[in-house]
Structure formats: C-alpha cells, structure tokens
Amino acid sequence: MRRHYLHGTIGTEIPRVDPALLDGLRRHDAAKIADVMRGAGVVHTSIKPLVRGMRVAGPAVTVLTRPGDVLFVLKASDAVQPGDVLVIDAGGNTEVAAMGDRYATYLKHIGTAGIVVDGGCRDTAGIIEVGLPTWTRGQCIAVYGSTGPGAINVAVQCGGVVVNPGDVIVGDDDGIVVVPHQDASRVLALADEHLEEELQWVRQITSGRRWSEIHNLGDRVRGWQE
C-alpha cells in the first residue's frame, strides 16, 4: 500500500501555551483576534459552528485522516488533555463523516474544549445535545470505517490554514482563527490594546460625539471628492 510519509505518526506531546494566555484570549472574539493578526489564521467561512453561541479557545491536537475513516480520529483522544481542541483534517470532504455523537460524548467526558472538522460530521443533533462546541464544513451520514491511514499531532490544514500541534484555536459564531502558539503572547497584547481602543470609542459615543467625528471620516471622504 502506498502511504504518505506522515501516515502512522503519533505525536504524544504538544506545546501548550500558559493557561493565563488562554484565559486572556478567551476574553476576545475571534474577529478581534483576526483583526490584530491582519487577517492571518482565518479559517475558511465554510467551516461553521453547528449552532450559534458556541465558543472555544484552546491548544490544537491535530489529526490527519483519510476522508470518512475514523481510526486515527478515535486514537487521537489518547493525546487530548482537558481544554484541548481536536482539529481534524479530513480533506474538506463533506460526503463522508469524520466523527459522530458517540465520540463527541467521550470527548466531552474527558474535558475536550471543542472540535473543528475540515470535513463532515454526522449525528449532529446528538453532538449539539452533548454540548461540545463543534465547527464543521458540513453534515452528512456516510462513513467508510476505521482502517486508516492517518496521523496525530502533525502539521495539518484546516480551511486553508496551516495548524500545528499546540496552536491556539479561537472560535465563536463568526468562525475560527488559528493563533500560532509561539505568537500567542504578542497577539494577546495586541488584542487587549485593540479592545481598549474600542472601549474608548464607546465612551466617546455615549458622551455624544458622532461616529464620523471620532474616526475622522470627513477628511477621508473629502479625499474622494476633490
């Protein structure tokens, strides 16, 4: 059988950012994180939460799998620690499922913070009932089985973004953004600064100033009128 050089790889340790950094990132919406990263790390909009109101921020445990095969997806639970986010690269195929509600129940039981699937999910009503925040490219019924191939805790792609083990996944109703684990501290500092600027705008608005005045829109518009 021909195989990719990564097939069969199982990484047992990943770099996890300091819990205080995670707590800080949780204060921010995914869109605000994306703003300070200048749009980098934004997962394709076709990967959406199963229901509104889901939020997540945690280190990525990554899985590479053949679309519709669950062997390495299931095995990845051995690498998951409480607070981790399972990121499944199923090649974007939405005709076959990479997981279902029984597995989601187990992941919730061991403390998994959320799941992101570049591929399909099944039993979505059950996943929602379990309450495990889940983002997926689509819903479907079929699965192929559990024979492999695959790999765990290797670099994968999710919605066009490279995800390395330990990168911080931040997700909400707007979508998913991936923060490189080695850059999490800088991104948090920028996000905190950005939030303070927005709060200053709110204070100016409540004091009676106009939006155009706060953002100097008059001069910028006149540049197109001259």
Pair of tokens at residue 46: 């076709």
Task: For strands 161-163 and 156-158, give the pairing.
Answer: antiparallel
Phi-psi region of 36 (alpha: psi -120 to 50; beta: other; left: phi over 0): alpha
The confidence score (pLDDT) of residue 226 equals 75
- Predicted TM-score (pTM) of the model is 0.91
Spell out the residues 6+ positions from residue 212 whose beta carbon is closer than 8 angstroms to its own: 218
Identify the pLDDT of residue 114. Answer: 98
How are beta strands 156-158 and 168-172 bridged, if at all?
unpaired
Tell me, what's the pLDDT at 10? 95
Predicted local distance difference test score (pLDDT) of residue 1: 54
Q: Return the DSSP state at 167.
A: P
Structure tokens at 190: 């920028």
Handedness of CA 200, 202, 206, 212 (dihedral sign): positive
Q: How far apart are CA 43 and CA 64, in angstroms?
A: 17
Rounded Cα–Cα distance for residues 30 and 175 (Å): 7
Q: How many CB atoms neighbour CB 62 within 10 A?
A: 27
Task: Note the pLDDT of residue 220.
Answer: 83
Instruction: Going from the first residue of the chain to its last (226 residues), give the mean pLDDT of each consecutive group of 10, the final group possibly shorter.
Output: 84 94 95 95 98 97 95 97 98 96 97 98 96 97 91 98 98 98 96 82 78 81 83
Q: Residue 19: its pLDDT value, please?
A: 95
Question: Where do the domains of the chain lie, and which CATH numbers do they carry?
Answer: 19-189 (3.50.30.40)
